[in-house]
Amino acid sequence: MTFENILFEIENNIGILSINRPDKLNALNQATLKEIGNAIDLAENSDGLKGLILTGSGEKAFVAGADISEFQGLSVEEATQLASNGQALFFRLENFKAPVIACVNGFALGGGCELAMACHLRIGTEKAKFGQPEVNLGIIPGYGGTQRLIQYIGKGRALELLMTADMIDAQTALNYGLLNHIVTNEELIPKAISIIEKIGSKGPLAIKGVIECANAFFDKEKEGFNFEARTFGNLFTSSDVIEGTTAFIEKRKAAFQGK
């Protein structure tokens, strides 16, 4: 599959996706969102994939937002559909079976902040900057920003950022819990790879279960504790549970097969 707006490769069972429109600060136009969906398809169908890394090409931006040039002249129906489609795509990342890590090397604004928040973890450089500046344009976030920002940083801080359109720097994002780590530019991708490798040494079905249970906490259709108990129980049909517990008793490293 060829891409025009992203770069995507799978190396050593880790998918690396770079939004690749640096002259537009990697703004997410519809073509780019479609290609991200196609890359997720490839990743989902890749046996043994340990995780996904998302980043932005160039030195200035992770993603500076949805492409504003596509917003003019939208009808109510078209704008609603645009938001629903973006949300559906970002749900695919949030519900991905293996860890998804955003490597934020600059501006993560609007749809870029929303994209980073749909990932499971966020690692940034000192140049990372987060914000939801949509109100500057007379609009609100549409790809989940009003919901996920509250999940990460709490309602008071989220409302301030959403209403003032202020940006926060990497240190503030770390203090708020929006960033997991701050590293140098050279360490950015290697740090994400090392976290994915560490997670990849655990039981893949258990990791999938952890992701599903964490997402269940925020899903009003699900009751998190029941969901956790059921997910815990279902794992006992897997051979990985036998392998993991046996390996502990035999004092050796478990060799999980994801089955």
Q: Note whether 86 binds ligand COA by CB under 6 A.
A: no
Q: Note whether 153 binds ligand COA by CB under 6 A.
A: no
Q: Note whether 64 binds ligand COA by CB under 6 A.
A: yes
Q: Note whether 20 binds ligand COA by CB under 6 A.
A: no
Q: Binding ligand COA by CB under 6 A: which of 6, 16, 27, 211?
A: 27
Given the rule CB under 6 A, which of 41-49, 106-114, 116-124, 177-185 is the region that contacts ligand COA? 106-114
Q: Binding ligand COA by CB under 6 A: which of 14, 16, 19, 25?
A: 25
Given the rule CB under 6 A, which of 132-140, 208-216, 231-239, 240-248 is the region that contacts ligand COA? 132-140
Our CB check for ligand COA shows the closer of 143 and 256 to be 143
Q: Note whether 56 binds ligand COA by CB under 6 A.
A: no
Q: Of the candidates 49, 149, 30, 26, which has an alpha carbon nearest to the alpha carbon of residue 99?
A: 49
Considering the complex, what minimum distance in angstroms separates the CB of residue 27 from ligand COA? Answer: 4
Q: Residue 45 and residue 32: Cα distance in Å, rounded? A: 20
Beta bridge partners of 188: none
Q: Binding ligand COA by CB under 6 A: which of 56, 65, 99, 145?
A: 65
Considering the complex, what minimum distance in angstroms separates the CB of residue 54 from ligand COA? Answer: 17
Our CB check for ligand COA shows the closer of 42 and 139 to be 139
Q: Residue 230 and residue 213: Cα distance in Å, rounded? A: 10
Considering the complex, what minimum distance in angstroms separates the CB of residue 36 from ligand COA? Answer: 16
Q: Residue 155 and residue 157: Cα distance in Å, rounded? A: 6
Q: Residue 204 and residue 221: Cα distance in Å, rounded? A: 25
Residues that bind ligand COA (CB under 6 A): 24-25, 27, 64-69, 107, 109-111, 133-134, 136-137
